[in-house]
Amino acid sequence: MRISKIFLIIILLIFFIPFSLFGQEVIKISRLTDEIDFDGYPFEQVWNEPTLFPLVMHSPNFGADPSEKSEVMIGYDQDYLWIGARLYSADPSDIVATSKKRDEESRNSDAFGVILDTYNDNENALIFYTTPTGSRTDYTISNDGAGGYGGGGGRGRGPMNMSWNTFWDIETSRDEKGWYVEMRIPFSSLRFQNNNGITRMGMILNRRISSNNEMDTYPAIDPKYGYSATMKPSLARTIEFEDIEPVRPIYIAPYIIGGYSHNYNLNEEETQYIEEDGPEFDAGLDVKYSLTSNLTLDLTANTDFAQVEADDEQVNLTRYSLFFPEKRLFFQERSGIFNFRLGGPSTLFYSRQIGIVDDEQVRIYGGARLVGRAGKWDIGVMDMQTEKHKENPSENFGIARLRRQVINDYSYVGGIMTSRLGTNGNYNVAYGLDGIFRIFGDDYVDVRLAQTYETATANVPLSTDPTFAGITWERRSDEGFAYDLSYSYYGEEFNPEVGFIMREGVQGMNTRFQYGWIPGETSKFFSYRGMMQFRRSTRVSDGELETMEISPGWHFMTKQGFGSFLEFQYMKEGVEEEFSLSDEVDVLVGEYTFMGIRGRFFTPQSKTVSSMIGIEAGEFYDGKRISIEASPTLNLSSSLQISGSYEFNAVDFPERNQKLRNHIIQTKVLFMYSTKLSVSVFVQYNNLDDEFIGNFRLRYNPREGNDLYIVFNEYRGIVNRESVPERPPFFGRTILLKYTHTFRI
């Protein structure tokens, strides 16, 4: 493998470019001297003691005075971080409250939240949000909120982990002057470091005023940092606490599950469907213990994920693997520690490799996970054991990850090791070394090296065959000139079986240049930018073209919340092996040149009805393609939401008399009786595979850690198709009840 001299020069420059660190004011948080009446009305005398934080408008007009008055106070006692907010409104009828849902992702409601970089590492943070209904949303941010340049609306993996949950409480209230918040976060739910009695964290405060499509923040945050600017830990203000030593409780959470299933499964010869039914009963246990204020040990036995929603249906019009996001809660806490990105969705560790085989859940006997921070070191260790499933043996999965701050507060070096060991003697082991360096301003350089070793391969350490290498230089800004320059190499035998690889045995360049404007208060536009992408990769085996793309594009956002992205594509594809788009449609071996367009249009998410509409059209290999997608959301009230999506794909190869017509329909209805009780119905249909998937879920969550689920799932065909063997009336039908109760010791 030859690496261009320019990349060696770049790596050397990283260590010789001077770094400038600027001091930042540290704000001391006041210790409370009296108890707070936790009722969602922060007006008693004790709320005059905490530190007061003024908000500044982030959007639509950066730096302007907020349209509504806000008073945000923060204090603490020995057990809790207390946040109070008086969120005034000149006309209370303008207050928008459209959801009571736990972990609401919509930007439709008014909202208030706090972002806490608890380790003050400028990269990872915990986020706590609420709305006027008292809903609770918590999630994590990793990689400083950086997830690549947006606008494409793709299904990639971003820096936000919405599935993460922890223990905290919220109370809200309303009157004729506005709405009010009291937030109580136990220090035992936060992971932080105490140095000589002093604890420092990064903090950002956000208020969303939906009727004005407005976001106010503390501190002032320049919108040039893009869509995730208001959640970037590197832009947080440092706050300081004295002498906080939280108790370290043990959380013991047993669960029981009972129900009935009725399934039809193909026999090994695939000559007939075998009917299987019967009762289901199971039980398991999760244990969480804080070894220190910044190290947490999780233990799990007979882990179950019966309540998790089904994956979204996708159609694959490429020759590469599809990526599905992780939805299982056990793998969520501090999951950013285990990130080792290889480019795009590819990663050295992909938790869905554990306990899922051929889209079927496999029993996880148990495991352990240790995550946290010691000094400047991020630490993540995990070990899981799964049972035998059909031809797949019982397997052990191991992951160890270390990262350390170096040079400045925004730069890291680290390493990872993964292992997959089967009881049949098969093994797959991978290691990786990486570093991300902020070299000046908004410029970052990311370098990565990884290798894999497995059964029945030569496993030569100095060979490039089992090796991945990558380097990226990017400027993270939506204003002015920005870029993303990367090179990656995937060896032919590079195969991380605890990871996810979209493309194997390729090497190439990917470059993106853009110039953006944020025109200011006098313009109707919030931002707009022009972009140019060029990427080219070749096969390692023969050096021939794998894929090439030249894509100029344009993106804009208005201050009212409308947005659009349009891209023209010039493509070249070198197909070495024939691949199928469906049972009747194939792409043949050869080299193809074709052109098309790709676009997305977004309506304001702050409105009662919002939608995303997308289109891809043009030439496609030796034929034509058009794909249309629409994703409307209807917020009828704070108790009822209806959302859905429709995707249509038409592919024609007229010279070969082949065509594909694919429809994917998804509908979700969510009824929220309160913030504790909700019912959801989620149905999907994919005509290409004639798959109907239905999911009914009732959740009762009287307090964090206590959950009752009633779940009904059905998987069946809709169209009466002739097939051999004859298809059953349905493939699977299950009803389950699951209850989890958390004991705090």
Helix (H) or strand (E) holding 13: helix 5-14
Are the beta carbons of 378 and 94 closer than 8 angstroms?
no
Query: CA of 379: how far to CAs of 122, 167, 373, 401, 412, in Å?
Result: 16, 22, 6, 6, 13
**Six-digit token string for 403:** 């990262």
Q: For residue range 64-104, list pLDDT tens digits in order.
A: 999 999 999 999 998 999 999 999 999 988 898 888 888 87
Residue 574 has pLDDT above 50, yes or no: yes
Are the beta carbons of 165 and 128 closer than 8 angstroms?
no
Find which of 233-242, 367-376, 400-409 is predicted with most confidence, using mean pLDDT: 233-242
Give residue 321's pLDDT: 82
Query: CA of 635: how far to CAs of 72, 122, 614, 650, in Å?
Result: 28, 35, 21, 31
Are the beta carbons of 97 and 131 closer than 8 angstroms?
yes
Domain 32-242 fold is: Immunoglobulin-like (2.60.40)
- At residue 148 the predicted structure's pLDDT band, cuts being 50, 70 and 90, is very low
Average pLDDT of the segment spanning 394-409:
92
- At residue 7 the predicted structure's pLDDT band, cuts being 50, 70 and 90, is very low
Residue tagged 């947005």 (tokens): 563
**Cβ-Cβ contacts under 8 Å for 48 (sequence gap 6 or more):** none
Give residue 147's pLDDT: 60
Q: For residue range 413-440, list pLDDT tens digits in order.
A: 999 999 999 999 999 999 999 999 998 8
Q: Which residue from 98, 122, 103 is spatially nearest to 113, judged by alpha carbons?
A: 103
Residue 619 has pLDDT above 60, yes or no: yes
3-state class of 375 per DSSP? coil
**Six-digit token string for 565:** 């992205």
Give residue 312's pLDDT: 78
